[in-house]
Protein backbone atom coordinates (compact mmCIF):
# COMPACT_ATOMS: atom_id res chain seq x y z
CA UNK A 1 0.00 0.00 0.00
CA UNK A 2 1.43 3.37 -1.00
CA UNK A 3 2.12 5.99 1.65
CA UNK A 4 0.09 8.30 -0.61
CA UNK A 5 -3.03 6.77 0.93
CA UNK A 6 -4.82 8.94 3.52
CA UNK A 7 -7.41 8.22 6.18
CA UNK A 8 -9.35 11.37 7.11
CA UNK A 9 -10.83 10.92 10.60
CA UNK A 10 -13.79 13.11 11.61
CA UNK A 11 -14.03 13.29 15.42
CA UNK A 12 -15.80 15.39 18.04
CA UNK A 13 -18.53 15.34 20.67
CA UNK A 14 -21.88 13.64 20.39
CA UNK A 15 -24.57 15.51 18.37
CA UNK A 16 -22.07 17.98 16.86
CA UNK A 17 -22.68 16.89 13.26
CA UNK A 18 -19.97 14.32 12.46
CA UNK A 19 -22.25 12.19 10.25
CA UNK A 20 -23.14 15.10 7.95
CA UNK A 21 -19.50 16.20 7.66
CA UNK A 22 -18.34 12.65 6.95
CA UNK A 23 -20.90 12.29 4.16
CA UNK A 24 -19.96 15.68 2.66
CA UNK A 25 -16.28 14.64 2.55
CA UNK A 26 -17.06 11.15 1.22
CA UNK A 27 -19.13 12.64 -1.62
CA UNK A 28 -16.42 15.17 -2.47
CA UNK A 29 -13.66 12.52 -2.57
CA UNK A 30 -16.01 9.88 -4.09
CA UNK A 31 -15.06 7.45 -1.37
CA UNK A 32 -16.44 5.36 1.52
CA UNK A 33 -16.91 5.87 5.27
CA UNK A 34 -15.73 3.60 8.07
CA UNK A 35 -17.61 4.08 11.33
CA UNK A 36 -15.44 4.33 14.45
CA UNK A 37 -18.37 4.51 16.84
CA UNK A 38 -18.32 1.88 19.60
CA UNK A 39 -22.08 1.24 19.45
CA UNK A 40 -23.21 1.70 15.84
CA UNK A 41 -21.85 -1.75 14.94
CA UNK A 42 -24.79 -3.36 16.70
CA UNK A 43 -27.86 -4.12 14.59
CA UNK A 44 -30.17 -3.98 17.61
CA UNK A 45 -29.04 -0.52 18.78
CA UNK A 46 -30.21 2.16 16.36
CA UNK A 47 -32.17 4.98 17.99
CA UNK A 48 -29.94 5.45 21.04
CA UNK A 49 -26.76 5.39 18.96
CA UNK A 50 -27.95 8.04 16.47
CA UNK A 51 -27.03 5.84 13.51
CA UNK A 52 -27.04 7.45 10.08
CA UNK A 53 -30.53 7.31 8.56
CA UNK A 54 -31.35 5.17 5.51
CA UNK A 55 -31.17 8.33 3.42
CA UNK A 56 -27.73 9.19 4.82
CA UNK A 57 -26.48 5.64 4.30
CA UNK A 58 -27.61 5.89 0.67
CA UNK A 59 -25.49 9.01 0.13
CA UNK A 60 -22.18 7.26 0.82
CA UNK A 61 -21.08 3.65 1.31
CA UNK A 62 -20.67 2.96 5.05
CA UNK A 63 -18.79 0.13 6.78
CA UNK A 64 -19.21 -1.04 10.39
CA UNK A 65 -22.81 0.11 10.68
CA UNK A 66 -25.13 -2.80 11.65
CA UNK A 67 -22.20 -5.16 11.11
CA UNK A 68 -22.55 -7.19 14.33
CA UNK A 69 -25.15 -8.45 16.80
CA UNK A 70 -25.25 -7.32 20.42
CA UNK A 71 -25.26 -11.05 21.28
CA UNK A 72 -21.62 -11.21 20.14
CA UNK A 73 -18.84 -9.66 22.22
CA UNK A 74 -16.96 -7.21 20.00
CA UNK A 75 -13.87 -5.49 21.37
CA UNK A 76 -11.80 -2.56 20.18
CA UNK A 77 -9.11 -5.12 19.32
CA UNK A 78 -11.56 -7.03 17.10
CA UNK A 79 -12.48 -3.75 15.44
CA UNK A 80 -8.83 -2.82 14.87
CA UNK A 81 -8.17 -6.09 13.04
CA UNK A 82 -11.33 -6.01 10.90
CA UNK A 83 -11.17 -2.28 10.10
CA UNK A 84 -7.56 -2.52 8.93
CA UNK A 85 -8.52 -5.40 6.62
CA UNK A 86 -11.38 -3.28 5.28
CA UNK A 87 -9.07 -0.31 4.72
CA UNK A 88 -6.57 -2.46 2.89
CA UNK A 89 -9.29 -3.44 0.40
CA UNK A 90 -10.64 0.11 0.05
CA UNK A 91 -7.20 1.61 -0.56
CA UNK A 92 -6.72 -0.70 -3.56
CA UNK A 93 -9.16 1.49 -5.50
CA UNK A 94 -9.00 4.90 -3.80
CA UNK A 95 -6.42 7.22 -2.22
CA UNK A 96 -8.71 8.65 0.47
CA UNK A 97 -11.08 6.99 2.96
CA UNK A 98 -13.16 8.78 5.63
CA UNK A 99 -13.57 7.50 9.20
CA UNK A 100 -16.22 9.01 11.49
CA UNK A 101 -16.59 8.50 15.22
CA UNK A 102 -16.62 9.98 18.69
CA UNK A 103 -15.26 6.88 20.46
CA UNK A 104 -11.69 7.80 21.34
CA UNK A 105 -10.65 4.20 21.99
CA UNK A 106 -11.93 2.97 18.63
CA UNK A 107 -10.41 5.90 16.74
CA UNK A 108 -7.10 5.12 18.43
CA UNK A 109 -7.45 1.41 17.61
CA UNK A 110 -7.84 2.31 13.95
CA UNK A 111 -5.12 4.94 13.68
CA UNK A 112 -2.45 3.81 16.16
CA UNK A 113 -3.23 0.34 17.41
CA UNK A 114 -4.00 -0.96 20.88
CA UNK A 115 -1.98 -2.86 23.45
CA UNK A 116 -2.59 -6.61 23.64
CA UNK A 117 -4.59 -6.98 26.85
CA UNK A 118 -5.53 -10.26 28.56
CA UNK A 119 -9.09 -11.44 27.92
CA UNK A 120 -11.18 -11.95 31.05
CA UNK A 121 -13.46 -14.98 31.54
CA UNK A 122 -17.14 -14.31 30.83
CA UNK A 123 -18.08 -14.78 34.51
CA UNK A 124 -15.64 -12.04 35.59
CA UNK A 125 -17.16 -9.57 33.14
CA UNK A 126 -20.71 -10.54 34.14
CA UNK A 127 -19.88 -10.10 37.83
CA UNK A 128 -18.42 -6.62 37.30
CA UNK A 129 -21.32 -5.56 35.09
CA UNK A 130 -23.81 -6.83 37.69
CA UNK A 131 -21.98 -4.89 40.40
CA UNK A 132 -22.26 -1.74 38.30
CA UNK A 133 -25.99 -2.31 37.78
CA UNK A 134 -26.67 -2.88 41.47
CA UNK A 135 -24.27 -0.46 43.16
CA UNK A 136 -23.30 2.10 40.52
CA UNK A 137 -19.89 3.21 39.33
CA UNK A 138 -18.42 4.58 42.56
CA UNK A 139 -17.42 1.25 44.23
CA UNK A 140 -15.79 0.13 40.97
CA UNK A 141 -13.87 3.41 40.74
CA UNK A 142 -12.69 2.93 44.34
CA UNK A 143 -11.56 -0.61 43.54
CA UNK A 144 -9.66 0.59 40.47
CA UNK A 145 -7.94 3.33 42.49
CA UNK A 146 -6.87 0.67 44.99
CA UNK A 147 -5.48 -1.89 42.50
CA UNK A 148 -4.14 0.48 39.83
CA UNK A 149 -3.62 4.10 40.99
CA UNK A 150 -1.45 4.80 37.90
CA UNK A 151 -4.23 3.99 35.44
CA UNK A 152 -6.86 5.59 37.69
CA UNK A 153 -4.99 8.91 37.54
CA UNK A 154 -5.06 9.13 33.74
CA UNK A 155 -8.11 7.12 32.64
CA UNK A 156 -11.62 8.38 31.90
CA UNK A 157 -12.97 7.02 35.18
CA UNK A 158 -16.46 8.40 34.45
CA UNK A 159 -16.75 5.86 31.62
CA UNK A 160 -18.13 2.57 33.06
CA UNK A 161 -16.77 0.55 30.14
CA UNK A 162 -13.20 1.80 30.74
CA UNK A 163 -13.36 1.16 34.50
CA UNK A 164 -14.87 -2.30 34.09
CA UNK A 165 -12.37 -3.25 31.38
CA UNK A 166 -9.45 -2.23 33.62
CA UNK A 167 -10.82 -4.31 36.49
CA UNK A 168 -11.40 -7.25 34.13
CA UNK A 169 -7.72 -7.20 33.19
CA UNK A 170 -6.69 -7.12 36.85
CA UNK A 171 -9.05 -9.96 37.80
CA UNK A 172 -7.96 -12.07 34.82
CA UNK A 173 -4.20 -11.59 35.18
CA UNK A 174 -3.51 -10.41 38.72
CA UNK A 175 -1.67 -7.47 37.18
CA UNK A 176 -2.93 -3.87 36.74
CA UNK A 177 -3.87 -2.71 33.26
CA UNK A 178 -1.10 -0.08 33.46
CA UNK A 179 1.39 -2.99 33.42
CA UNK A 180 0.25 -3.87 29.89
CA UNK A 181 -0.06 -0.37 28.42
CA UNK A 182 3.09 0.26 26.40
CA UNK A 183 1.67 3.33 24.65
CA UNK A 184 3.60 2.48 21.50
CA UNK A 185 2.15 3.82 18.27
CA UNK A 186 2.00 1.16 15.58
CA UNK A 187 3.05 2.34 12.16
CA UNK A 188 0.16 2.38 9.71
CA UNK A 189 0.61 2.02 5.92
CA UNK A 190 -1.43 5.21 5.41
CA UNK A 191 -1.36 8.82 6.57
CA UNK A 192 -3.95 10.06 9.08
CA UNK A 193 -5.49 13.54 9.11
CA UNK A 194 -7.75 14.21 12.11
CA UNK A 195 -10.59 16.72 11.65
CA UNK A 196 -12.29 17.80 14.89
CA UNK A 197 -15.74 19.37 14.98
CA UNK A 198 -16.82 21.62 17.82
CA UNK A 199 -19.07 24.62 18.36
CA UNK A 200 -20.26 26.99 21.08
CA UNK A 201 -21.00 24.97 24.21
CA UNK A 202 -24.52 26.38 24.67
CA UNK A 203 -25.36 25.50 21.05
CA UNK A 204 -23.93 21.98 21.46
CA UNK A 205 -25.83 21.36 24.70
CA UNK A 206 -29.07 22.52 23.09
CA UNK A 207 -28.45 20.10 20.21
CA UNK A 208 -27.83 17.28 22.67
CA UNK A 209 -31.03 18.01 24.63
CA UNK A 210 -33.07 18.17 21.42
CA UNK A 211 -31.55 14.96 20.12
CA UNK A 212 -32.56 13.11 23.31
CA UNK A 213 -36.16 14.38 22.93
CA UNK A 214 -36.20 13.20 19.30
CA UNK A 215 -34.83 9.78 20.31
CA UNK A 216 -37.64 9.38 22.84
CA UNK A 217 -40.18 10.38 20.18
CA UNK A 218 -38.68 7.82 17.81
CA UNK A 219 -39.15 5.01 20.35
CA UNK A 220 -35.94 4.75 22.36
CA UNK A 221 -37.78 3.32 25.37
CA UNK A 222 -39.16 0.43 23.27
CA UNK A 223 -35.68 -0.18 21.84
CA UNK A 224 -34.24 -0.40 25.36
CA UNK A 225 -37.05 -2.75 26.47
CA UNK A 226 -36.28 -5.04 23.54
CA UNK A 227 -32.67 -5.32 24.76
CA UNK A 228 -33.46 -6.28 28.37
CA UNK A 229 -31.93 -9.74 28.05
CA UNK A 230 -28.61 -8.13 27.08
CA UNK A 231 -28.60 -5.36 29.68
CA UNK A 232 -25.25 -6.46 31.17
CA UNK A 233 -23.42 -6.22 27.86
CA UNK A 234 -20.77 -3.43 27.94
CA UNK A 235 -22.38 -1.58 25.01
CA UNK A 236 -25.61 -1.24 27.03
CA UNK A 237 -23.93 0.18 30.14
CA UNK A 238 -23.78 3.46 28.23
CA UNK A 239 -25.64 6.76 28.03
CA UNK A 240 -29.19 6.47 26.73
CA UNK A 241 -29.52 2.82 27.70
CA UNK A 242 -28.33 2.55 31.32
CA UNK A 243 -30.69 5.33 32.47
CA UNK A 244 -33.75 3.74 30.84
CA UNK A 245 -32.87 0.34 32.30
CA UNK A 246 -32.89 2.07 35.70
CA UNK A 247 -36.39 3.35 34.89
CA UNK A 248 -37.55 -0.10 33.75
CA UNK A 249 -36.12 -1.57 36.98
CA UNK A 250 -38.25 0.90 38.97
CA UNK A 251 -35.28 2.81 40.36
CA UNK A 252 -36.16 6.23 38.87
CA UNK A 253 -39.08 7.89 37.08
CA UNK A 254 -39.17 8.21 33.28
CA UNK A 255 -38.82 11.99 33.57
CA UNK A 256 -35.72 11.57 35.73
CA UNK A 257 -34.28 9.01 33.30
CA UNK A 258 -34.67 11.45 30.38
CA UNK A 259 -33.08 14.27 32.40
CA UNK A 260 -30.17 11.97 33.28
CA UNK A 261 -29.67 10.99 29.63
CA UNK A 262 -29.38 14.67 28.73
CA UNK A 263 -27.05 15.42 31.63
CA UNK A 264 -24.86 12.36 31.01
CA UNK A 265 -24.75 13.09 27.27
CA UNK A 266 -23.53 16.61 28.00
CA UNK A 267 -20.88 15.25 30.36
CA UNK A 268 -19.85 12.69 27.77
CA UNK A 269 -19.54 15.42 25.12
CA UNK A 270 -17.25 17.38 27.44
CA UNK A 271 -15.04 14.31 27.97
CA UNK A 272 -14.92 13.64 24.22
CA UNK A 273 -13.71 17.18 23.53
CA UNK A 274 -11.06 16.88 26.27
CA UNK A 275 -9.87 13.52 24.88
CA UNK A 276 -9.52 14.68 21.27
CA UNK A 277 -7.89 17.98 22.26
CA UNK A 278 -5.13 16.31 24.24
CA UNK A 279 -4.75 13.27 22.04
CA UNK A 280 -3.23 13.35 18.58
CA UNK A 281 -2.96 16.20 16.07
CA UNK A 282 -6.58 17.23 15.63
CA UNK A 283 -7.45 20.31 13.54
CA UNK A 284 -10.70 21.95 14.71
CA UNK A 285 -13.57 23.38 12.65
CA UNK A 286 -17.18 24.49 13.00
CA UNK A 287 -19.47 21.59 12.01
CA UNK A 288 -21.48 23.55 9.42
CA UNK A 289 -18.46 24.62 7.36
CA UNK A 290 -17.37 21.74 5.10
CA UNK A 291 -15.82 24.25 2.70
CA UNK A 292 -13.24 25.32 5.32
CA UNK A 293 -12.40 21.66 5.94
CA UNK A 294 -12.00 20.97 2.21
CA UNK A 295 -9.70 23.99 1.80
CA UNK A 296 -7.58 22.75 4.70
CA UNK A 297 -7.46 19.21 3.25
CA UNK A 298 -6.44 20.50 -0.19
CA UNK A 299 -3.30 21.89 1.48
CA UNK A 300 -2.61 18.73 3.49
CA UNK A 301 -3.28 15.95 1.00
CA UNK A 302 -0.49 14.72 -1.31
CA UNK A 303 -0.50 16.54 -4.62
CA UNK A 304 -1.09 14.45 -7.70
Annotated binding site: 12-19
Q: Which among 218, 233, 220, 225 has a CA at the least distance from the CA of 249? A: 225
How far is 301 from 304, CA to CA, in rounded Å? 9
Q: Which among 98, 104, 102, 47 has a CA at the least distance from the CA of 76? A: 104
Annotated binding site for ATP: 12-19
Cβ(241)–Cβ(227) below 8 Å: yes
Q: b/e per residue, 145-168, with b = 16+ CB within 10 A?
A: eebbeebbeebbbebbbbbbbbbb
Runs of H (alpha helix) within 41-121: 54-59, 76-90, 104-111
Cβ(195)–Cβ(301) below 8 Å: no
How far is 214 from 290, CA to CA, in rounded Å? 25
Amino acid sequence: MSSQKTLIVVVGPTAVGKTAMGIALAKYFKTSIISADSRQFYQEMSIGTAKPTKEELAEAKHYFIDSHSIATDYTAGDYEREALQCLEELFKTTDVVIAVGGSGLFVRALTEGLDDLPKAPEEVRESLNQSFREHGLQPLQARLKEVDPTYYAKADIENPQRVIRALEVFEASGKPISHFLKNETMKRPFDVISIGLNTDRAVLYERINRRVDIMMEQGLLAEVQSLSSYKNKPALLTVGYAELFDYLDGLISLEEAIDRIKQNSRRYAKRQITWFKKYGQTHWFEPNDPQAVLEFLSEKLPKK
